[in-house]
Amino acid sequence: MRKPILSVIAALSLLTACHSGGSKTETQRLSEADQKLIQSAKTFFSTLPEAKDPSTPLALLGKKLYYDESFSANGKMSCNTCHPIYNYGVDNEPTSPGHDGTRGTRNSPTTLNAYVHSVQFWDGRSPDLADQAKGPVLNPVEMGLKTGDDVVAILKKSDEYQEMFKKAFPDEANPLTFDHFAQAIAEFEGTLATPAAFDDFLNGAIGSLNDEQKQGLGLFIETGCIACHTGPGLGGTMMQRFGLVHGPYWELTGSQLHDEGKFTVSGDENDKNVFKSPSLRNIAKTGPYFHDGSVKSLEEAIRIMAYTQLGKELKPEEIEKIAAFFQSLTGKIPEHAL
């Protein structure tokens, strides 16, 4: 009886060893091509950094403010109007209508994963989310309030907000300010992380991407897209000229407005047609594309970017594979934010 028992123990020990050293075992089973691909990917990309805690008083206040339509000239618009979280933080419009129906001139980018960006807005004029949060509410075309004092006046009418601000800013003599309003929204947006299959891949789960997606990732790197789209967001950390190799960009995108990007803020000739390189997280869900939403198709956007920025003409099958890779960047919308 002793030999069968020992055999069972040995088998269980082997099974346990496989589970406890799963990542090592999986690495040993990878093909040479897969090993090179994941090593290359880790050179240019990283998983999303830890998001903010959504249960804090500050984040809970920010969530309420994000959804509140009171902070608009018509009483019908909130941050969520143009950046609906249930729809990956975008309205899928080329440009969004404001409080009186007038449309802005730039596409409303997603708020999901925006906490990993180095600057905010297409022209990079805001250094962080708190500064950005002040913009739309006071923009005459967007939410249409006049001053930060208007925001505070609305807040003071609510006993609930007064209590929530006290909890969120317990050490402040005057917690109810426009700066704190923006800080709270920024805190909530800092919770909007959407980890995806690509994060699992970077953590060693090679099977998280199918063969076409892995080929697309390889093409994405080899083509040179990583010149601008790197880091945890695969973009969002660089300002770059649109039409770097071939331009002007509007001849390829069909843009009606010849927006000169950062130049409109800085006045520096070197900033003409310079825009923030967007994050590619959830890119398959956030069209239409570019700063003016001028291109509907993700495949067409890939083709244009390869040509304008890198001077390369991709084959249709290459574009399809890169688009397939982009599907692996689609994450799950955080339930706490809905």
Annotated active-site residue in 142, 187, 189, 318? 142
Task: Supply the pTM of this predicted model.
Answer: 0.90
| CATH topology identical between 31-48+195-327 and 57-189 | yes
Collect all residues with Cβ–Cβ distance below 8 Å to 16 and sequence separation of at least 6.
none
What is the rounded distance in angstroms from the CA atom of residue 167 to the CA atom of residue 164? Answer: 5
Q: How far apart are the first and last CA of the chain?
A: 59
- pLDDT value, residue 141: 97
CATH 1.10.760.10 fits 57-189, yes or no: yes
Q: Which of 277, 279, 278 is nearest to 329 (CA)?
A: 279
Structural domain boundaries in the chain: 31-48+195-327, 57-189
**Which among 118, 322, 125 is positioned nearest to 136, based on CA atoms?**
125
Mean pLDDT per segment of 10 residues, for the chain of length 338 residues? 37 36 50 92 97 98 98 98 98 98 97 98 98 98 98 98 98 97 98 98 95 98 98 98 97 97 97 98 98 98 98 98 98 98
Write out the E strands in 116-222.
Answer: none
**From the centroid of its chain, how far is CA 330?**
10
Q: Is 300 known to be catalytic?
A: no
Q: What is the rounded distance in angstroms from the CA atom of residue 68 to the CA atom of residue 21?
A: 49
Which residues, in sequence order, are CB contacts of 275 under 8 Å at separation 6+?
A: 122, 123, 124, 239, 240, 242, 261, 262, 291
DSSP category for residue 201: H
Collapsed DSSP state (helix, strand, coil) of residue 275: strand
pLDDT for position 18: 36
CA distances from 188 to 98, 266, 269, 319, 336 (A): 23, 30, 36, 35, 10
CATH code given to domain 31-48+195-327: 1.10.760.10
- Give CA–CA dist 60/92, Å, rounded: 26
CB count in 10 Å sphere of residue 44: 15
